[in-house]
Every structure is written in C-alpha cells, then in structure tokens.
Structure 1
C-alpha cells in the first residue's frame, strides 16, 4: 500500500467528485450523492482514490446499479454484496469507487464514519497513523486493520 498526504490528492479528488456527481445525478435524479472516504476528510492520508456514496430507495438498488454501469463501472469482486449494498469500481483510468446503498440501511455507516472523522482532528490523526503504519502491506492486511479502526470509531457515541 502507498499513501498520499491530503495536499497531494484531495483537490483533484474534489474536482473528480463534482464531475461524477453531475453524471450520476442525471441518471438518478432522486439519489443522494455524497463524497465519502479519506478524500472527503480534511487532512486525511489516502491511497489517492475517490469514493462516492450513492443512496437510493431499497427498491431501486438493482436498477441504479444497471444505470451506473453505463458510466464505465463494474461490480467490484471480493467485496460485501447484499440487496442493500453494491460496490462498483471504475473501468476507466479514474481510481473511483461507487458505494450503492439502500437509504436507511446499516450501510449508511459510510456517512457516519466520514462525519465522525470530520468532527475530530484526533481521529483523523489516528486514522493517518494507522494508514502510514500499513505502507507496503498487502491490501488484505491493510483492510483488516482499517476495519477494526472503523468499527471502533462507529462505536463511539
């Protein structure tokens, strides 16, 4: 794993988010589209990728996935897939992932995690330290360590 400081990637991720937000909104006018992941958290260290939350009614998840695929995405294999969650990854040169989520589901935790870090410089510092400590690690090991941190943050009141 390789990580970048906020000043190395966040501005370009914000520009990319705004571009995708417009495209997604045209396909899914009722969707809730939010910038999530490290690139949405001021001063967060990141792999430099962009994550976008696309919240839709539970009855619209499958249709939303079909429409989003037309923007150059495919279902991401080896990730959790439920009727309320589907992760899509870009097949273009953009390092972008879409988290298609049923509104009101447990998977709105993507937003809760982002908001807790945005509200706490201490949590951002801890998150950055965790990521930096994983430099050079295999992705699976990094994901395990990150998952534990995310669960701890979400358990905070």
Structure 2
C-alpha cells in the first residue's frame, strides 16, 4: 500500500474504443515497419485486439525481433516514442508509450522466444476461447477503481496461468 500509485483501473465504457485502436494500429504499423529492422513482426495485442474483451481503451502493440536486431529496434523506437519508465527493461525487452495519440499507445519490444515474449500468445489464447475472455472481463470488472499496481499483480497471475496451461484454459481467479 505504501508504494501503490494513485492511478486506478478505469474501463472504457465505449465499445468504439476497440475500433479506434484498430484504425490507429493500422496507421502506426506502416510507420513502424518503415523504421524497424526487416525481421520485425508488428502485432496488435492487448484487450482492443480481442473481440468482446473489456479495455481501458488504449492500444497495445507487440514488436518481436531477433536478438541481433533488438538494439537497432530499441533505438528506432526510442526516437519515435517515449520510454515507459514504469516498465521493466532488459536486454530482450523494452517498453515505449505515446500519450499524445488517441487512443494512447503502449509498444512492447521483445526478442522472439525471450521470457517476456508472451503478448501475441496471450492474445491468441483469448481469441480462441470466449470463456477465457469472460473470466478476464470478470477480473477486470472486479478491479475497476482499484489501484493499478494491485490490478497488474492479479492480471499477471491470470496471464501466467493461461500461458502455462497446456490447453490455454486455466486462469480461474
């Protein structure tokens, strides 16, 4: 509680948020592809990429690259975006943000196959299983108005349980 940020989970009540995110993603994808290494795979991830998933209304983008391309991709993104200083940064993962765009944007740069290369896998598990989407939505509803640190901890546990389940069906709680 002592280090909890004042930021609270606020869900976007407007379903049009996902449509706006997809339109912005298509535009940004082209701009990112022009400056990133040739092996970069740019994917729309996060709740706005999953039909029926509750969202805060922001756009999340995953950029997967080879280990050899990571430094060049990190540099290219640092010119276009602000570093997300509230996120972990390693030699295989960097996070960036753009709060000047609507919706706001988070970009996760990750080395393919690295421990934090989970964004596309989690999105795909949600897309394949509407029951998981409902459980994820219930988790979000139960944490609306709660501090983001507490929400992120519960969300991380849910994501880990989904990714660690052989069939992607785990994640109760």
Could you state the TM-score of these two structures normalised by the residue count of structure 1? 0.93
Aligned length: 156
* Cα RMSD, aligned residues only: 1.4
Deviation, 1:30, is 2.7
Gaps of 5+ in 1: none
What does 1:100-115 correspond to in 2, within 5 Å?
A: 100-115=109-124
What does 1:67-82 correspond to in 2, within 5 Å?
A: 67-71=76-80, 73-82=81-90
SS of match in other structure, 1:92? coil
Deviation, 1:79, is 1.4
Is 2:9 the partner of 1:11? no
Match of residue 39 from structure 1: 48
Gaps of 5+ in 2: 1-8, 167-173
Deviation, 1:93, is 3.4
What does 1:5-154 correspond to in 2, within 5 Å?
A: 5=13, 7-28=15-36, 29-71=38-80, 73-94=81-102, 95-154=104-163
Confirm or deny: 8 A CA contact 1:6 1:46 kept in the other structure.
no
Deviation, 1:8, is 3.1
Deviation, 1:46, is 0.6
Could you state the TM-score of these two structures normalised by the residue count of structure 2? 0.85
Q: Which structure shows the higher helix fraction?
A: 1
Match of residue 156 from structure 1: 165
SS of match in other structure, 1:18? helix
| Aligned-partner Cα distance in 1 for 2:25–2:160 | 26
SS of match in other structure, 1:70? helix
Question: Which deviations, in whole Å up to 9, do the C-alpha atoms of 1:28-64 show, x marking residues without a partner?
Answer: 2331000111111111001001110111111221221
Deviation, 1:5, is 4.9
Deviation, 1:154, is 0.7
